[in-house]
């Protein structure tokens, strides 16, 4: 029987794997108004999937994989360290390629966030798997699981194999699912935090620091995560109990998650946001018509203003007002011309009076 607590944990994993990255991407789209920001997230998801595959290939190489088969705790720790280094280096390469690509057009915080969500949204690939596990758990509790998987069309599962699966799932601690949900949550948060740090240093021209810091943080996190995950396994000689191993793993994940949130709060405001997307076509047409009407009004006003400012009021035939101004302007000149004649008359009158 699968406990209700365990089935709820499966549901929590499904929600974290599905809703968290989708919600984060919708937030970035709403902030920018650009649906094409999804392309960057898809590139991030695809790139980190390739990085994980490359890490798996390196870890599966003969000399490396043999470290897990020797039974030596020291050699297994070396194996974990190699796996963490390869994964950290590959993911740093992915960050560099994404940020360098974005910098050729416009570095924006929401582009960077979408890339981090894509890199950390690896859980999207496993969301349906946990939904299927919930359905299988219900079938196990109803007693219909063995019949369903063994009699299905094209099925090669035997009754013994189905029973083994039921026993393994029933024996698993319910807390495992909640720690797994925290693992997916932390994976997304730490990818977002690391790409924000990388972008901040990249914008400041400190590319070497961006590469070294983010790689080192990722290697340390992955090594501690895997170390605590396998701490209760035979690889490490059952160093701790299953419950203690889950608690240690949860502690590492929780510290990383809280640290990632703090980094997000500090670094995000320091990276400029993208310019808002262009308005829709109808809004653009309306703005164009309004601007056209405004320009026509301005041109008409300038034309009227130029006719008032540059019209010569002294030019003949310009307007009645102009003629009046011309006459009034000529009047003082006539008065000045008449002054000498008046003075001559006065002088003649004075001379005549003196002769008499």
Query: What is the separation, in whole angstroms, between the first and last Cα of the chain?
Result: 156
Residues 164, 149: Cα–Cα separation, whole Å: 13
For position 114, what pLDDT does the model report? 92
**Last residue of a domain, which of 270, 298, 322?**
270
Is residue 18 one of the residues assigned to a domain? Answer: yes
Asked, for residue 283, whether it belongs to a domain, the answer is no
Cα(255)–Cα(261) distance, rounded to whole angstroms?
10
pTM, full prediction: 0.73
Q: For 26-41, what is each residue's pLDDT tens digit?
A: 998 888 887 778 888 9
Position 187 in a domain: yes
Q: How many CB atoms lie within 10 A of CB 271?
A: 17
Q: Which of 236, 270, 304 is the last residue of a domain?
A: 270
Ramachandran angles phi, psi of 318, nearest 5°: -75, -50
> Does residue 191 sit in the same domain as residue 334?
no
> Is residue 306 domain-resident?
no
The mean per-residue pLDDT over the stretch 311-329 comes to 48
Answer with the one of 217, 242, 270 that is the final residue of a domain. Answer: 270
Tell me how many domains the chain contains: 2
Domain check: are 328 and 264 in the same one? no
Please give the mean pLDDT across all residues of the chain. 82
Residue 34: Cβ-neighbour burial (10 angstroms; 0-12, 13-18, 19+): buried
**Structural domain that includes position 173:** 4-270
Question: How many other CB atoms are found less than 10 A from the CB of residue 92?
Answer: 23
182 and 247 belong to one structural domain: yes
In this structure, are 225 and 327 located in the same domain?
no
pLDDT: which is higher, 232 or 354 = 232
Is 304 inside a domain boundary? no
Contacts of 277 (CB under 8 A, 6+ apart): 32, 33, 34
Tell me, yes or no, whether 288 lies in a domain.
Answer: no
User: Does 236 share its domain with 330?
Assistant: no
| Residues 120 and 189: beta-carbon distance below 8 Å | yes
Residues 64 and 131 in one domain: yes
Return the axis-axis angle of helices 207-229 and 175-203, rounded to nearest 10°.
170
């Amino acid at each position: 029987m699968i406990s209700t607590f365990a089935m709820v944990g499966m549901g929590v994993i499904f929600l974290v794997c599905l809703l968290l990255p989708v919600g984060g991407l919708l937030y970035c789209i709403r902030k920018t108004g650009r649906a094409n920001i999804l392309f960057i997230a898809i590139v991030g998801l695809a790139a980190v999937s390739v990085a994980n595959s490359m890490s798996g290939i390196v870890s599966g190489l003969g000399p490396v994989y043999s470290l897990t088969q020797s039974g030596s705790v020291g050699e297994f720790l070396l194996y974990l360290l190699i796996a963490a280094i390869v994964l950290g280096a590959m993911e740093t390469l992915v960050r560099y390629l994404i940020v360098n690509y974005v910098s050729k057009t416009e570095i924006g915080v929401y582009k960077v966030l979408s890339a981090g969500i894509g890199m950390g949204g690896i859980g999207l690939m496993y969301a349906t798997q946990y939904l299927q596990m919930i359905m299988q758990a219900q079938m196990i509790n109803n007693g219909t699981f063995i019949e369903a998987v063994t009699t299905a069309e094209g099925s090669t599962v035997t009754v013994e194999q189905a029973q083994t699966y039921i026993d393994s799932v029933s024996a698993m601690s319910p807390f495992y699912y909640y720690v797994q949900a925290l693992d997916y949550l932390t994976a997304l948060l730490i990818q977002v935090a690391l790409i924000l740090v990388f972008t901040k240093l990249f914008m400041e021209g400190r590319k070497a620091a961006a590469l070294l810091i983010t790689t080192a943080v990722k290697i340390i996190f992955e090594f501690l995560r895997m170390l605590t995950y396998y701490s209760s396994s035979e690889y490490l000689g059952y160093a701790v109990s299953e419950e203690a191993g889950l608690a240690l793993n949860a502690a590492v994940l929780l510290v990383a998650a809280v640290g990632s949130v703090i980094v997000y709060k500090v670094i995000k405001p320091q990276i400029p946001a993208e310019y808002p997307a262009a308005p829709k076509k109808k809004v653009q047409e309306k703005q164009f018509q309004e601007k056209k009407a405004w320009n026509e009004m301005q041109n008409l006003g300038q034309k009227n203003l130029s006719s008032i400012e540059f019209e010569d009021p002294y030019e003949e035939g310009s307007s009645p007002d102009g003629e009046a101004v011309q006459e009034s302007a000529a009047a003082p000149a006539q008065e000045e011309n008449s002054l000498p004649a008046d003075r001559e008359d006065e002088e003649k009158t004075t001379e005549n009076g003196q002769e008499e």
